[in-house]
Amino acid sequence: MKIEARSLSFSVRGKTLLQDVSLAVQPGETLALVGPNGSGKSTLMRLLSGLAKPSQGDVLLADQPLARLTRREIAQRIAIVEQQADTAERITARSVVELGRTPWLSALKPWSGEDTQHVDKALRTVEMEEFAPREWSTLSGGERQRLHIARALAQRPGLLLLDEPTNHLDIHHQLSILNCIRNLKVTTVVALHDLNQALTCDRVAVLSHGRLVALGAPAQALAPETVSEFFGIKARWARDAAGDAPFLSFQLA
Ligand SMILES: Nc1ncnc2c1ncn2[C@@H]1O[C@H](COP(=O)(O)OP(=O)(O)OP(=O)(O)O)[C@@H](O)[C@H]1O
């Protein structure tokens, strides 16, 4: 499902958090959103999800203005995992993932075997099947994060918005979640702090002080000069002894 931001701006109490951001993410594409702390990544995610309304500009989902869709229509199309996502304590891991099916249920369409299958598949994808009966309050930060991602996957969205989905995860689960995200046929926007992980996405958008300052193929959007300028460090391409694809190496300027 295509998502498009047209000249998006967002201000709160006279402070501009996002200014004139335009970009389009094509069906099935994975776009990494990077930028220094406070550059506007979460703000842009919230605007794309419909959780916040732009002060100016429009968000179009599959060429339809988001503002014209009902909450339920949006929930059937867009899943978001926010940065400090948390949920009620007295609930099992499986119930959290089942919440992802809510937008699809109604009096005429109660829970069915198909819903159970989506939940099972989402739990498998994040390698959390064995945790399904556990109570939420007993889970670690990384386990909760994986379940939030499973909840979003169980929703079967056309657009997946993930705000720093790997920040609580060990390296195995960082790589496996990113691999899973890249292989999904779902359009995905993923905010990342690890620029080398961003390099593995289809395209990269760089935000700085609420403005879109680069957008394109990963190696082009994350060229060392761009990274150095907007993150205030010295970046360069490096290669390991195996001679695999180059990666970014950093040091303080
Ligand atoms: N409700 C608000 N009122 C005032 N300022 C806000 C509000 N919400 C966010 N901001 C500010 O807007 C800027 C952008 O915040 P945002 O969370 O979008 O950045 P980010 O790029 O996601 O940052 P991080 O990498 O630290 O998660 C920050 O300077 C933040 O302090």
Q: Which of 9, 13, 33, 41 to mutate to test the pocket of ligand 1 (most atoms within 8 A of CB)?
A: 41
Question: In this structure, what DSSP letter does residue 241 have?
Answer: T
Same domain, 207 and 239: no
For 26-83, how does the pLDDT look when each residue is reduced to its tens digit (9 = 90+)? 999 999 999 999 999 999 999 999 999 999 999 999 999 999 999 999 999 999 999 8
Residues enclosing ligand 1, CB less than 6 A? 12, 15, 17, 35, 37-43
Residue 249 lies in domain: 223-253
Rounded average pLDDT over 130-137: 94
Please give the model's pTM, rounded to 2 decimal places. Answer: 0.94
Judged against a pLDDT cut of 70, whether residue 216 lies above it is answered with yes
Same domain, 71 and 160: yes
Same domain, 233 and 201: no
Is-contact 251 242, C-beta < 8 A?
A: no
Instruction: Report the atom number in ligand 1 closest to the C-alpha of 163.
Output: 22
Cα 86 to Cα 47, 89, 204: the distances in Å are 20, 9, 27
Same domain, 129 and 227: no
Judged against a pLDDT cut of 80, whether residue 121 lies above it is answered with yes
Same domain, 98 and 168: yes
- Domain count of the fold of the chain: 2
Q: How far is the CA of 245 from the centre of ligand 1 (A)?
A: 33
Across-strand partners of 69? none
For 147-164, how does the pLDDT look when each residue is reduced to its tens digit (9 = 90+)? 999 999 999 999 999 999
- CA atoms of 201 and 198, how far apart (whole Å): 6
Q: How far is the CA of 42 from the centre of ligand 1 (A)?
A: 7
In what side-by-side order are the strands of the sheet with 78-81?
78-81, 159-163, 187-191, 30-34, 203-208, 211-216
Banded pLDDT at 88 (limits 50, 70, 90): low
CA-nearest residue for atom 27, ligand 1, is 37
Rounded average pLDDT over 223-227: 97
SS3 at position 60: strand
Q: Which of 39, 47, 189, 206 to mutate to test the pocket of ligand 1 (most atoms within 8 A of CB)?
A: 39
pLDDT attached to residue 244: 76
Q: Which of 42, 55, 206, 213 to mutate to test the pocket of ligand 1 (most atoms within 8 A of CB)?
A: 42
The separation between CA 27 and the C-alpha centre of its own chain, rounded to angstroms, equals 15
Same domain, 127 and 247: no
Same domain, 16 and 47: yes
Banded pLDDT at 223 (limits 50, 70, 90): very high
For 167-207, how does the pLDDT look when each residue is reduced to its tens digit (9 = 90+)? 888 999 899 888 888 888 899 999 999 999 999 999 999 99
Judged against a pLDDT cut of 90, whether residue 3 lies above it is answered with yes
Banded pLDDT at 243 (limits 50, 70, 90): confident
Same domain, 81 and 148: yes
ipTM above 0.90, yes or no: yes
CA-nearest residue for atom 1, ligand 1, is 12
pLDDT attached to residue 85: 62
pLDDT attached to residue 230: 97
Q: How far is the CA of 92 from the centre of ligand 1 (A)?
A: 32
